[in-house]
């Protein structure tokens, strides 16, 4: 059975973006999970463990810690499935929110002890963005996201990448890019809105 | 005021990327409860951030699957949050309507009673901080729950996390007290007892959850009857002393 299951969690429907029907499917599966259906949870795992782990790994970087955080996140999905409300956003977004928050909790608590030097941190994040790009080169979704990211201004793109993939607060981002706080807030919002429109997000 | 609102609206982007510091995030979440266009925008930007997340997907370590599925199979799930339950709601983005109602009530109260906006805000902050604190205990990986009848009737339920050093106490069916008396919670240990808060007046026989910090390994959760305002040390025999142990 395992042999039949390619378990390629990364590639959404070609062409159609994330696919509304795939999203509805996941909403339904999470409803089953909320009622204790372990088979449904396996399916949710197979669909979302890859995106959750990849996101956590991008933020946290250390593989062992990333695995720990991913485990916490996926178990939180199991425990709190009853609190997911499809009227408030997609299932994937609900899980990615949990994953991102847990990942930044991890790096922000860790960074107190290891006050990272800003310049080397910026270099590390730039490297990690490249790494992301490599790791997901075959991913259609990633292709589209990269294309959309490249349509942003440098400051928009860098500040969004540092904040989301790097897990930095906007104040830290402002410090890293040497830009005023107010500018960062605006650039991040403008950039995200452009990304949203480019990616065809319908909310 | 207009300038302030404008500034806050600009934060939708950094909020959607989790790039606010804690206090700013709380302030912005209050704002979201009142600003429909902001919460609509935040939803779209959250979905956009999901696109960024999907682009970073990676094959997880193979052993993770088995481990997660095994632990899930023996982990009890949390019940849904319902309107009647006095338990916490997850962060406000997911529950803007309830939160908006609460905020609206507070605003009306501020007008009617002439309380300053600042004071109302502080109270809302406190309520929210308390709810987040309770949620943190409920979501702790090592969360445990114990329930016990008291010696005077009724039941106390204690949800606690040793990792987070916190407990949440609710009760049902405790006998009503004469005026001038309250039920006080304690963290009890051989080395000394620490006050852990007062139970609020019951509604329909239940008391709303009380969050107490400072839990140490080996503590027991205790309840005594004390003069209104509470005491620094128990002055009556505990009606309950539950060991808090996994």
Question: How does pLDDT run across B168-204, given as a tens digit for each residue?
Answer: 888 888 988 888 899 999 999 888 888 899 998 887 7
- Do the chains contact at A185 and B16, CB–CB below 8 Å? no
Phi, psi of B159 (to 5 degrees): -105, 130
Contact between chains at A142 and B55 (C-beta distance less than 8 A)? yes
Of B20, B48, B53, the CB nearest to A199: B48
- For all residues of chain B together, what is the average pLDDT? 80
Helices and strands (DSSP H and E) totals, chain B: 7, 8
Q: Give the closest of A145, A184, A190 to B52, CB-based.
A: A145
Q: Please give, rounded to a whole number of angstroms, the shortest distance from the CA of B115 to a CA of chain A.
A: 32
B155 within 8 A of B125, measured Cβ to Cβ: no
Closest in A34, A36, A164 to B52, CB measured = A164
**pLDDT string in tens for chain A (203-residue length):** 443 443 333 333 333 344 566 777 899 999 999 999 999 999 999 999 999 999 999 999 999 999 999 999 999 999 999 999 888 889 999 999 999 999 999 988 765 445 444 444 555 555 555 554 455 444 667 788 889 999 999 999 999 999 999 999 999 999 999 999 999 999 999 999 999 999 888 76
Strand order in the sheet with B155-161: B144-149, B155-161, B166-172, B206-213
Taking the C-alpha atoms of residue A144 and residue A146, their distance in angstroms, rounded to an integer, is 5
- Please report the pLDDT score of residue A130 as a whole number: 52
Hey, is the C-beta of A69 within 8 angstroms of any chain B C-beta?
no
ipTM summary value: 0.81
Query: Which class for B27: exposed (0-12), middle (13-18), buried (19 or more C-beta within 10 A)?
Result: middle
Residue of B nearest to A141 (CA): B55
Is A192 close to B46, i.e. CB distance below 8 A? no
Q: What is the dihedral of CA B132, B246, B186, B153, to 10 degrees?
A: 100
Query: Are β-strands B220-227 and B181-189 bridged in parallel, bridged antiparallel, or unpaired?
Result: antiparallel
- Quick one: tokens of A69? 């955080």
CA–CA distance, B21 with A97 (Å, rounded to integer):
16
Size of interface A-B (CB pairs under 8 A): 218
Put simply, the chain B residues between 67 and 106 with a CB less than 8 A from any chain A CB are 67-69, 71-73, 75-81, 90, 93-95
Residue B192's pLDDT is 84
Q: Does A45 touch chain B (CB under 8 A)?
A: yes
pLDDT of residue A122: 52
Q: Give the pair of three-digit tokens for residue B183.
A: 């039920």
Task: For residue B111, name the pLDDT band (cuts at 50, 70, 90).
Answer: very low
Among chain B residues, CA nearest to A46: B65
Greater pLDDT, A200 or B4: A200
pLDDT one-digit tens code per residue, B7-26:
788 999 999 999 999 889 99
Phi and psi (nearest 5°) for B180? 90, 0
Taking the mean position of all CA atoms in its chain, how far away is CA B184? Answer: 19
**Is residue A109 packed enough to be buried (19+ CB in 10 Å), middle (13-18) or exposed (0-12)?**
exposed
Contact present, B10 and A185 (Cβ < 8 Å): yes
Query: Which of A83, A152, A168 is the best residue to mutate to test the B interface, defined by the most B CB atoms within 10 Å of its own CB?
Result: A83
Question: Cα distance from A116 to chain B (closest Cα, Å)?
Answer: 17
Check: CB of residue B46 under 8 Å from CB of residue A88.
Answer: no
- Round to whole Å and give the CA distance between A152 and A146: 10
Chain B residues touching residue A96 (CB < 8 angstroms):
49-50, 53-54
Between these two residues, B58 and A110, which has the higher pLDDT value?
B58
Contact A12 B54 (CB under 8 A): yes
Is the pTM here over 0.90, yes or no? no
- For B183, half-sphere exposure in the C-beta direction (CA atoms, 13 angstrom radius) is 28
Cross-strand pairs, B228: none
Tell me what pLDDT residue A13 has: 37
% residues pLDDT > 90 (chain B): 33
Q: Do A75 and B72 touch (CB under 8 A)?
A: yes
In the block, residue with structure tokens 């499935």: A81
What pLDDT was estimated at residue B222? 94
Predicted confidence at residue A93, as pLDDT, reads: 96
**Rounded to whole angstroms, how far apart are CA atoms B18 and A96?**
11
Hey, is the C-beta of B19 within 8 angstroms of any chain A C-beta? Answer: yes
Q: Is the pLDDT of residue B49 over 80?
A: yes
Please name which of A99, A73, A72, A67 lies closest in space to residue A164, comparing C-alpha atoms: A99
Q: Does B62 touch chain A (CB under 8 A)?
A: no
| Mean pLDDT across B99-128 | 48
Q: B13, B74, B140, B164: which to substitute to probe chain A, counting the most A Cβ within 10 Å?
A: B13
């Amino acid at each position: 059975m395992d042999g039949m299951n390619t378990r390629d969690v990364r590639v959404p429907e070609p062409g159609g973006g994330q696919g509304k029907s795939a999203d509805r499917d996941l909403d339904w599966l999470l409803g089953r999970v909320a009622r204790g259906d372990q088979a449904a949870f396996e399916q949710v795992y197979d669909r979302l463990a890859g995106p959750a782990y990849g996101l956590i790994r991008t933020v946290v970087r250390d593989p062992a810690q990333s695995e720990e955080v991913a485990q916490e996140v996926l178990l939180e999905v199991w425990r709190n499935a009853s609190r997911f409300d499809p009227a408030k956003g997609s299932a994937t977004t609900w899980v990615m929110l949990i994953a991102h928050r847990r990942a930044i909790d991890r790096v922000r608590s860790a960074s107190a002890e290891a006050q990272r030097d800003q310049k080397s941190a910026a270099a590390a994040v730039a490297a990690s963005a490249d790494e992301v790009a490599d790791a997901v080169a075959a991913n259609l979704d990633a292709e589209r996201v990269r294309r959309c990211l490249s349509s942003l201004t440098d400051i928009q793109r860098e500040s969004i990448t540092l904040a989301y993939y790097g897990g930095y607060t906007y104040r830290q981002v402002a410090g890293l890019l040497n830009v005023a706080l107010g500018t960062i807030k605006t650039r991040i919002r403008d950039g995200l809105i452009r990304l949203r429109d480019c990616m065809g997000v319908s909310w | 005021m207009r300038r302030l609102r404008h500034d806050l609206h600009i934060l939708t982007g950094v909020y959607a990327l989790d790039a606010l510091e804690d206090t700013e995030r709380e302030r912005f979440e209050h704002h979201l409860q009142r600003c429909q266009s902001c919460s609509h925008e935040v939803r779209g930007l959250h979905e956009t951030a999901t696109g960024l997340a999907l682009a970073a997907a990676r094959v997880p370590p193979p052993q993770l699957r088995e481990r997660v599925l095994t632990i899930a199979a023996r982990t009890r799930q949390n019940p849904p949050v319902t309107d009647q339950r006095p338990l916490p709601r997850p962060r406000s983005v997911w529950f803007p309507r309830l939160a908006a109602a609460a905020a609206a009530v507070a605003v009306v109260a501020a007008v009617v009673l002439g309380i300053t906006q600042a004071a109302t805000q502080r109270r809302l902050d406190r309520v929210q901080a308390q709810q987040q604190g309770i949620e943190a205990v409920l979501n702790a990986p090592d969360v445990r729950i114990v329930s016990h009848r008291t010696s005077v009737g009724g039941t106390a339920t204690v949800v606690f996390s040793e990792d987070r050093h916190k407990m949440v106490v609710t009760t049902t069916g405790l006998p009503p007290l004469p005026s001038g008396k309250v039920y006080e919670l304690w963290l009890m240990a051989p080395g000394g007892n620490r006050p852990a808060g007062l139970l609020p007046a019951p509604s329909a026989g239940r008391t709303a959850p009380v969050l107490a910090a400072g839990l140490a390994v080996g503590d027991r959760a205790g309840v005594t009857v004390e003069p209104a305002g509470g005491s620094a040390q128990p002055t009556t025999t505990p009606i309950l002393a539950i060991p808090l142990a996994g």
